[in-house]
Amino acid sequence: MGGRFTSPTALADALAATAAGHRPVAGGTDLVVGTRQGKWSLPEDLVALDRIEELRGIEETSGGLRIGATTSHADLAGHPAIRKRWTAIADAASIVGSPATRHIGTLGGNLANASPAAETSGPLLCFDAQVEVRSTAGSRRIALADLFNGPGRTTVRSDELIVAVELSELAGVGSSYVRLEFRRQMEIAVVGATAVVSLDGAIVIDARIAITALAPTVRRVAVAEFALVGTDGGPDAAAEAGRLAAEAATPISDVRASLEYRRAMAAVVVRRAVTGAIARARGETIPIPASASLFGAR
Amino acid sequence: MRYLVTLQVNRTSYPVELEVGRTLLSVLRGELGLTGSKEGCDDSECGACMVLIDGRPVNSCSYLALQAAGRQITTVEGLASGTKLHPLQQAFLEHGAVQCGFCTPGMLISATALLAANPDPTEDEIRAGLSGNLCRCTGYVGIVAAVRSAAAELANAD
Ligand SMILES: Cc1cc2nc3c(=O)[nH]c(=O)nc-3n(C[C@H](O)[C@H](O)[C@H](O)COP(=O)(O)OP(=O)(O)OC[C@H]3O[C@@H](n4cnc5c(N)ncnc54)[C@H](O)[C@@H]3O)c2cc1C
Ligand code: FES
Ligand code: FES
């Protein structure tokens, strides 16, 4: 029976394997679980990334953060700098699946899988994440917005690996990620929203808003961002941003929700995400995960 | 291709020959005879197959056995010391946390991971810690009570 497997400790060996046609497996919580669900069969040849030390971990750099591709959701959710300064990422990572999913599932896998409902994508888009991908031929940096190419599709070539995600520091911002969920845990976002805002006194001077499970890829919504800038970010402004984002959304109907319900709920989650981000920018405490803290928030 | 590797389960080394697609659960049950871990859904929904790998909970039904090679694997068989039950096992018995018992090995493993990370969890934290484990019998109330009581027991023992 075919099927080759390699589990290197050096990144160079992993890149040689992808160049030779091996598919990467990190936690396997998408790749292997999908085979158990009968969605696809396991790729013939695999290279496991979990023993490569240099791919894992979160490093504070002079300008921000560098997060290794195999960093787990649990490590993202627990990291003090992420919780304090890139809070929406912690909101997102802390509600992925169950404790087991969060310990085994990785950031690189979440991005490479490119689900329109992926939890970490919205916060990372709003924080202008740059993705470093590498092959035996060298490395290149891709803005996260240019990585997603449709549901389940990315611009990462099959011989390349995502090695890290880089974030620059945005001074004085407040952020939050909120998803609509039918249950608290083991859920996939029905719809989700991220907001990242900066204030000058009481006025919003910068706003980034992304929508999740509301378009073929997770994406930002410029009309809602423009509308929020210059306002006080209060209930009316948050509701207006929600209304505009819902209008711009292009959701689908599936087993979890109809298109109409998703669009209606888009307005609600965007409003909550904006409310949470504004409150955090003002220094108020909204416990992580914001989804649970802002449930029912007007 | 088949690969000869060593699985370290409950501090015992087992040499095994594996194909790439073998899941850890199928090896534990089928090759090593460790049938404590159960197969419920076989796709990461129910938690009946939960084991610890290097102390972290993993759905073994959906994890490649080759990725677990050389790491410390703990199954429910590894919780008791000889004939003395682990405080969590004892508490499950005392609080009616077991009916048919199918979810119990996975519940015990998730609870072990939870208490290692958070020795004094609130009820909400216990429910979140066990959120990857489904029980169709007990209604969970006894399970939550058992975890709480084992936490107190373990705190007193220290
Ligand atoms: C029960 C359960 C609940 C879940 N809940 C959520 C949820 O709430 N939110 C959510 O967003 N996701 C959820 N997921 C999906 C999944 O856990 C995440 O997407 C996770 O981050 C995937 O990471 P992984 O390391 O397991 O990926 P893998 O399965 O190992 O890989 C996924 C894909 O990415 C590729 N890949 C992996 N690493 C790299 C790399 N470094 N470079 C290039 N390609 C790479 C693989 O080849 C594969 O195609 C859930 C999954 C399960 C089983
Ligand atoms: S059998 Fe593994 S999660 Fe159900
Ligand atoms: S005791 Fe029967 S499934 Fe939990």
| Shared-domain flag, residues B54 and B101 | no
Return the CATH number at B109. Answer: 1.10.150.120
Q: A283 CB contacts (<8 Å, ≥6 apart)?
A: none
* CA-closest residue to ligand 1 atom 27: A109
Average pLDDT, chain B: 97
| Shared-domain flag, residues B91 and B152 | yes
CA-wise closest residue to A276 among A107, A90, A139, A104 = A90
Residues in chain A: 298
| Shared-domain flag, residues B42 and B106 | no
| Shared-domain flag, residues B66 and B97 | no
How many C-beta atoms surround the C-beta of residue B12 within 10 A?
12
Return the CATH number at B55. Answer: 3.10.20.30
Distance of alpha carbon A55 from alpha carbon A12, whole angstroms: 11
CA-wise closest residue to A99 among B117, B131, B40, B143 = B131
**Residue A204 in domain:** yes
CA of B133 to the centre of ligand 2 (A): 9
**Residue A190 in domain:** yes
The per-residue pLDDT for A2 is 62
Task: Give the domain range for residue A208.
Answer: 173-294
**Residue A275 in domain:** yes
Specify the number of domains making up chain A: 1
Residues in chain B: 158
**Residue A74 in domain:** no
| Shared-domain flag, residues B67 and B91 | no
Please identify, among B39, B60, B78, the residue that sits at the C-terminal boundary of a domain.
B78
Distance of alpha carbon A262 from alpha carbon A52, whole angstroms: 40
Is 80 exceeded by the pLDDT of residue B146?
Answer: yes
**Residue A254 in domain:** yes
- E-assigned strand segments in chain A: 5-6, 23-25, 46-48, 58-60, 64-68, 130-135, 138-143, 161-168, 173-180, 191-200, 203-212, 219-220
ipTM: 0.95
The per-residue pLDDT for A298 is 64
Contact criterion met (CB < 8 Å) for A99 and B110? yes
Return the CATH number at A265. Answer: 3.30.390.50
**Residue A83 in domain:** no
Structure tokens that stand for B30 in this block? 């089928």
| Shared-domain flag, residues B66 and B92 | no
pLDDT in tens, chain A (298 residues): 469 999 999 999 999 999 999 999 999 999 999 999 999 999 999 999 999 999 999 999 998 999 999 999 999 999 999 999 999 999 999 999 999 999 999 999 999 999 999 999 999 999 999 999 999 999 999 999 999 999 999 999 999 999 999 999 988 899 999 999 888 788 888 999 999 999 999 999 999 999 999 999 999 999 999 999 999 999 999 999 999 999 999 999 998 899 999 999 999 999 999 999 999 999 999 999 999 999 887 6
| Shared-domain flag, residues B56 and B119 | no
Please identify, among B44, B78, B112, the residue that sits at the C-terminal boundary of a domain.
B78
Distance of alpha carbon A196 from alpha carbon B147, whole angstroms: 38
Predicted structure pTM score: 0.97
> Of chain B residues 4-63, which have a CB less than 8 A from chain A?
19-21, 23, 42-45, 47, 50, 56-59, 61-63
| Shared-domain flag, residues B63 and B96 | no
Please identify, among B55, B78, B101, the residue that sits at the C-terminal boundary of a domain.
B78
| Shared-domain flag, residues B73 and B110 | no
Contact between residue A290 and residue A177 where contact means Cβ atoms under 8 Å apart: yes
CA of A101 to the centre of ligand 1 (A): 9
**Residue A180 in domain:** yes
| Shared-domain flag, residues B72 and B121 | no
| Shared-domain flag, residues B66 and B115 | no
Task: Give the domain range for residue B61.
Answer: 2-78
Please list every protein residue whose CB sits less than 6 Å from any atom of ligand 1.
A 23-31, 33, 49, 69, 96-97, 101, 105-106, 108-110, 112-113, 118-119, 156, 161-162, 186-188; B 44
Assess A23–B contact: CB distance below 8 Å, yes or no. no
**Residue A18 in domain:** no
Contact criterion met (CB < 8 Å) for B57 and A100? yes
Structure tokens that stand for A219 in this block? 């994406």
The per-residue pLDDT for A1 is 43
A244 sits in the region (left: phi over 0; alpha: psi -120 to 50; else beta) called alpha
Contact between residue A273 and residue A195 where contact means Cβ atoms under 8 Å apart: yes
How far is CA B93 from each of CA B22, B38, B85, B108, rounded to the nearest angstrom?
34, 19, 10, 12
Specify the number of domains making up chain B: 2
Assess B124–A contact: CB distance below 8 Å, yes or no. no
> Of chain A residues 194-253, which have a CB less than 8 A from chain B?
none
| Shared-domain flag, residues B57 and B99 | no
